[in-house]
């Protein structure tokens, strides 16, 4: 598609090359484009190449075909990383979205102090995951506040981050705490866009508050919900900072996610080719997920 076809009849037609706007346009784009080509496009292409090769520490590079992928699919570590990433995603997404939806519904009204509430809910979003992770390590520690509260109600205490079973739910909880404020605002924006008349009509028809939520809010909130779902999926597949800070992939690799594997193989063992192959798998998964989500959305629209 040429630029001219894309914008029919907006401006008097003239040759793209002769218009003085084009040269200025290139000048304006140039700095951005240079950085983009060198530090985004080239690394992306290079990552693909790396995954088919062996990068020596001395800077030598040798193509070895599909060996890295062969090794990856034979590696229990890789299948463990996929499982960890999948389990984490399956736990984190429903928890985060449920909390975000509930808080958006509660915040969708004029009450005194509402802006203060919203600001507090949003504060974890702007906080560094490293900082959040450090405080949450203390909250999850054996003598920490979480276990103290559980002890009050006589629930057996757990060593959250040292338990192979509880470590992923614990990390998912931190993720929910960090991100619900963001998702809440997006859902809130979606709710505020719903015409008030729909609620009035439902009210006249005698719908209860729950029915209004179920039959008016939820269906009309679908685009915002979808946006949040995509966001959370990408976030969950790419979680890294909190895992690095809080568990280091442990205990016994129970939180060794795909991103952690890429980091560990790359910068722990300096096996750049192998790490890039794992990275390509992450890319493929990301693409598949977004394709599925796009298809689902199209079906819903029609």
Partner 1 sequence: MTVTSGLPESTVVTPEAPTRPTKSRRPRRQRLIHVVLLAAALITAFPFYAMVILSLQPGAAVELPSSLMPTSISFDAFRDALASQSIATWALNSTVYSVVSVVLVLLFASMAGYAFAKKRFFGRELIFWVFVAMMMIPHHLTLIPQYILVSEMGGLNTMWGMIVPTIANVQAMFLMRQFIQDIPDELIDAARIDGAGEFRVFVSIILPQTKPILATLGTFVFLWHWNDFLWPLVSQQSPQNYVLTVGLNTLQEQQTPLATVMAAAVVTFIPTLLVFIVLQKYFVRGVMMSGLK
Range 238-277, binding partner 1 (CB under 8 A): 238, 240-241, 244-245, 259, 262-263, 266-267, 272, 275-276
* x/- map, 71-90, partner 1, by CB under 8 A: --------------------
From 99, 102, 80, select the one nearest 91 (Cα to Cα): 99
Name every residue whose Cβ is closer than 8 Å to that of residue 101 and which is 6 or more positions away in sequence: 187, 225
Which residue, 190 or 249, has its beta carbon nearer to partner 1?
190
Q: Is 63 in the site for partner 1 (CB under 8 A)?
A: no
- Stretch 123-152 residues interacting with partner 1 (CB under 8 A): 123-124, 126-132, 134-139, 143-145, 148
For residues 203-222, which are near partner 1 according to CB under 8 A? none
Nearer to partner 1, 126 or 153 (CB): 126
Minimum CB separation of residue 186 from partner 1 in Å reads: 3
Residue 276 contacts by C-beta under 8 Å, 6 or more apart in sequence? 47, 48, 50, 51, 68, 266
Measured between alpha carbons, how far is residue 99 from residues 14, 175, 183 in Å?
55, 12, 9
Q: By CB under 8 A, which span of 72-80, 81-89, 99-107, 153-161 interacts with partner 1?
A: 99-107
User: What per-residue string of b and e applies to 269-302 under the rule 16 or more CB within 10 Å gives b?
Assistant: eebbbbbbbbbbbbeebeeeeeeeeeeebeeeee
**Contact residue for partner 1 among 64, 119, 201, 292 (CB under 8 A):** 119
Q: Tell me how far, at minimum, the Cβ of 254 lies from partner 1, in Å.
A: 19
Distance CA 252, CA 39 (A): 35
């Amino acid at each position: 598609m040429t630029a001219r076809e894309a914008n029919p009849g907006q401006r008097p037609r003239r040759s793209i090359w002769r218009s003085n706007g084009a040269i200025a346009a290139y000048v304006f784009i140039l700095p951005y484009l240079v950085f983009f080509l060198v530090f985004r496009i080239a690394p992306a292409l290079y990552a693909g190449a790396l995954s088919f090769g062996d990068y020596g520490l001395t800077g030598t590079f040798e193509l070895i075909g599909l060996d890295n992928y062969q090794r990856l699919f034979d590696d229990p570590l890789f299948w463990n990383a996929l499982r960890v990433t999948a389990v984490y995603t399956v736990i984190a997404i429903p928890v985060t979205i449920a909390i975000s939806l509930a808080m958006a519904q509660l915040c969708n009204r004029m009450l005194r102090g509402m802006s203060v509430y919203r600001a507090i809910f949003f504060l974890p979003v702007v906080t560094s995951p490293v900082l959040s992770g450090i405080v949450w390590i203390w909250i999850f520690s054996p003598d920490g506040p979480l276990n103290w509260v559980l002890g009050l109600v006589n629930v057996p205490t757990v060593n959250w981050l040292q338990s192979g079973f509880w470590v992923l739910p614990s990390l998912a909880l931190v993720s929910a705490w960090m991100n619900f404020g963001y998702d809440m605002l997006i859902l809130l924006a979606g709710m505020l866009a719903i015409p008030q008349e729909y609620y009035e009509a439902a009210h006249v028809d005698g719908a209860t508050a729950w029915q209004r939520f179920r039959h008016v809010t939820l269906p009309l909130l679908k685009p915002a919900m979808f946006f949040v779902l995509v966001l959370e999926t990408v976030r969950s597949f790419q979680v890294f900072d909190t895992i690095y800070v809080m568990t280091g992939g442990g205990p016994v690799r129970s939180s060794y996610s795909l991103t952690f594997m890429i980091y560990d193989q790359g910068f722990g063992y300096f096996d750049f080719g192998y790490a890039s192959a794992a990275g390509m798998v992450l890319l493929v998964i990301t693409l598949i997920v977004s394709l599925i989500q796009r298809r689902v959305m199209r079906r819903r629209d029609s």
